[in-house]
C-alpha cells in the first residue's frame, strides 16, 4: 500500500462534493483542480540530470537566464529551451516537446521525492485533517496495473474520473509521509484532505504540479526557496500551446 494503513475508496459518496467541480475545459486550470478555491499556484518540476549528485538539479530560471526565455505562469519546457514551436491557432507542433537541455529535463506526470516531501510538510500544516487525506493515482500507471499486492492488497479498486483521468483513490495519513526518508513511488496524481482545505494535481502529461487553496497556503508555497512556484489563474492554459510569450 502506498501509505501504510491506507485503504482504497470504493464508495462514490465519499467524492460526491468533488466530482462535479471539475468545470473547466482541457485548457483551463479547473479541468485539473476543482473550482471554488481562492488561490492557485503551479510548482515547476525540477530539471534533474542523470548521474546523481555530481550534477545538481537546476531551476527553470537558471536555464531561462541562459536561453533568454521568460519565466511566467504559463511557461512550457519546450519553449524554455527552444526545442519545439507550437501554433496555438492551428493546433500544430513542430519539434520535440520533451527534449533535454544539456542533459537536464523535468519529470512528466510525477513530482520528484524531494519536492513532494516539501509539499507534504507544508500541506499537512494547512489542514486540520492531515491524518485523513485522499490520494489519487492514474489507473494507467504500470505500478498500479501490476496489482501484485505491493501497491494495493491484491484487489481491483474502484475508478473515479478526476480532472479528465480515471484514477484509483486511497485514503490515509499524510502525516505518515512527512519526515520519512524515502517517499513511496509513484507520487499521487491528486491529493486532498478530508476538510477540503486544499487540492493538489499532477496531470500525467504536465511537467508541473498545480495546488489550489487559500491565500496563506499559496503565499507560503510561492516563498519557499526550494520550490519554483508561480501564481496561476483559473484560466491558465498548461497544454503545450499555453506558452505564447517565449
pLDDT digits (tens, 9 = 90+) for 161-172: 998 888 989 888
- The pLDDT value recorded for residue 164 is 83
pLDDT at 122 > cutoff 60: yes
Q: 83-92 contacts: CB < 8 A, separation 24 or more?
A: 84/240, 86/240, 86/241, 86/243, 87/241, 88/241, 88/244, 91/241
Beta strands in the chain, from DSSP E residues, in sequence order: 7-8, 39-44, 47-48, 84-87, 92-95, 105-106, 133-138, 160-162, 165-172, 190-193, 199-201, 208-213, 229-231
What's the confidence (pLDDT) of residue 143?
Answer: 67
58-112 confidence digits (pLDDT tens): 899 999 999 999 999 999 999 999 988 877 655 677 888 889 999 899 999 989 8
Residues sharing a CB contact under 8 Å with residue 167, sequence separation 6 or more, in sequence order: 136, 137, 138, 139, 159, 160, 161, 189, 190
What pLDDT score does 91 carry? 64
The pLDDT value given to residue 181: 65
Residue 120: predicted pLDDT: 93
- List 193's β-bridge partners, or say none: 133
pLDDT at 233: 94
Q: Is the pLDDT of residue 184 over 90?
A: no
pTM (two decimals): 0.92
Q: How far apart are CA 136 and CA 15, in angstroms?
A: 11
Q: Average pLDDT, whole number, for the chain?
A: 87
206 falls in which pLDDT band (50, 70, 90)? very high
pLDDT greater at residue 1 or residue 93: 93
d(CA 61, CA 169): 34
Is 36 or 91 the better-scoring residue by pLDDT?
A: 36
Is the backbone peptide bond immediately before 62 cis, with ω within 30 degrees of 0?
A: no
Residue 42 grid cell:
503551479
What distances in angstroms separate CA 151 from CA 25, 137, 172, 244, one per listed residue?
32, 11, 13, 40
**What per-residue confidence (pLDDT) applies to 113?**
85
Amino acid at each position: 500500500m502506498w501509505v501504510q494503513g491506507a485503504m482504497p475508496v470504493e464508495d462514490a459518496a465519499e467524492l460526491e462534493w468533488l466530482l462535479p467541480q471539475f468545470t473547466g475545459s482541457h485548457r483551463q486550470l479547473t479541468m485539473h483542480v476543482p473550482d471554488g478555491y481562492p488561490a492557485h499556484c503551479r510548482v515547476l518540476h525540477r530539471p534533474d540530470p542523470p548521474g546523481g549528485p555530481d550534477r545538481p538539479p537546476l531551476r527553470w530560471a537558471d536555464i531561462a537566464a541562459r536561453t533568454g526565455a521568460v519565466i511566467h505562469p504559463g511557461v512550457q519546457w519546450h519553449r524554455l529551451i527552444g526545442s519545439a514551436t507550437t501554433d496555438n491557432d492551428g493546433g500544430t507542433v513542430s519539434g520535440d516537446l520533451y527534449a533535454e537541455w544539456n542533459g537536464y529535463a523535468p519529470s512528466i506526470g510525477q513530482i520528484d521525492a524531494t519536492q513532494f516531501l516539501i509539499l507534504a510538510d507544508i500541506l499537512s500544516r494547512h489542514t486540520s485533517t492531515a491524518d485523513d487525506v485522499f490520494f489519487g493515482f492514474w489507473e494507467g500507471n504500470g505500478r498500479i496495473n501490476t496489482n501484485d499486492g505491493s501497491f494495493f492488497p491484491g484487489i481491483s479498486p474502484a475508478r473515479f474520473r478526476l480532472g479528465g483521468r480515471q484514477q484509483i483513490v486511497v485514503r490515509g495519513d499524510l502525516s505518515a509521509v512527512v519526515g520519512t526518508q524515502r517517499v513511496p513511488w509513484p507520487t499521487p496524481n491528486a491529493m486532498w484532505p478530508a476538510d477540503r482545505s486544499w487540492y493538489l494535481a499532477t496531470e500525467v502529461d504536465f511537467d508541473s504540479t498545480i495546488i489550489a487553496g487559500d491565500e496563506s497556503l499559496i503565499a507560503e508555497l510561492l516563498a519557499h526557496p526550494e520550490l519554483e512556484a508561480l501564481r496561476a489563474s483559473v484560466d491558465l492554459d498548461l497544454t503545450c500551446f499555453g506558452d505564447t510569450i517565449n
